[in-house]
Each structure stands twice: as structure tokens, then as C-alpha cells.
Amino acid sequence: MKHVFVLLLIIPLLAVGQSKKQTAEKPTLVTPPFTEFVEGYEELNSFDEVLEKFAGRTVYIDLWATWCGPCVAEFAYKDGLHDVATKHDIDILYLSMDQDKDDQKWKDFIQKHKLTGYQMRANKALYKDIQAKFSQIYQGRKAFGIPYYIIAKDGEVMLKQAPRPSSGEVLYTELINYKN
């Protein structure tokens, strides 16, 4: 009986490993809910490179960090967002702005909060590129803050400052409009 038990554990692990293979260009579609790290995310140095991973797709991008209270508060609304995204074949990318030293904290956080969708963490170069692309003038100087949400389609930013998940139907309508 021990041998059967071991086989039952190995077979699902092999199936999981095979389902997560990706092409070099974009993530493989997996039936939600799933959590998948974007292949090679550590090497992506520009936001354009991130968008290339989702070429041909509509993606809602959530820029967040484990230390950001407002970011974490928005996760309470993730289920409604995921329902709409699944129904309309829209990807969700959680792009963490956590530092390299907090890599394990970030991964543990994903598990603890059951964040499903595509996951990646920005390296220093990508973080700087995101700041340059999405900073705004605030009290006379350029500033970038999170949470920050983006809708992209076919590798292009369609909507900077997209609605937050807590905006519910306002966000869902925007997502569906960009999907069509």
C-alpha cells in the first residue's frame, strides 16, 4: 500500500509541472483559479517587456507591495474581479514592487492571501521604468504611488490609472469594454 500512496503523490506533481509550461512569448492559459509566476520575470527590465508576455491578451495589472496597506485592503474585492476576468477571458497580473530582500515574504504573502492569477516581482530596473512611465506631478514634484492599476491590451497600455477592484461595476465595465 505504501507504493500506491507514493505514486498518487508523484502523479499529481508531474501533472502540475507539465501544465505550467509556457512559451517564451506569453503565459500559457490555465483555467482559473491558479497562481502562476510569470516565466523569467526576474529578467524583465522594462514595462514593455512585461506587456510582451501578455501580447494578444487583455490584462488587468495590479501594482502592489506587501507593506502597502491600501494595496492589501483591495484584495478583499479580488473574488468579484476574478469572476469577471474568468468569464471574459481577461488575465490578471499582480506585479509586486517589493525589494529583492523580501522575495520570500512576497511569496508567502501570495499564499496567505490566496492571490490567484499571474505573479511577478519587479527588479530594480523594472521598478525604475515603472516609476518613469507612471509617475505624476504631486505637490510640484514627480511621484509614484501604489496601489496602481493598469489595463493593457495586445501589449499596449490602454488605461493608466484604471479603477480599483473596490470600484466593482465601474472596473468590470472598463475591463469588458477593453476586451471587446
What pLDDT sits at residue 16? 39
Q: Residue 11: pLDDT above 60?
A: no
Residue with cell 490584462: 59
What pLDDT sits at residue 14? 35
61 by DSSP, 3-state: which? Answer: strand
25 band by pLDDT with thresholds 50, 70 and 90: low
33 band by pLDDT with thresholds 50, 70 and 90: low
Mean pLDDT in residue range 36-40:
94
Mean pLDDT in residue range 65-79:
96
Average pLDDT taken over every residue of the chain: 85
Domains of the chain: residue spans and CATH = 35-179 (3.40.30.10)
Contact 65, 32 (CB under 8 A): no
- Ranges of beta strands (E only) in 17-97 are 35-37, 58-64, 91-96
Give per-residue burial for 12-46: e unless 16+ CB within 10 Å, then b.
eeeeeeeeeebeeebbeeeeeeebbbbbebeebbe
Q: Residue 10: pLDDT above 90?
A: no
Q: Which residue has better confidence, 25 or 47?
A: 47
CA distance 176 to 180: 6
Tens digit of each residue's pLDDT (9 = 90 or more) over 76-90 = 999 999 999 999 999
Give the contacts of 174 (CB within 8 A, at least 6 positions apart): 151, 159, 162, 163
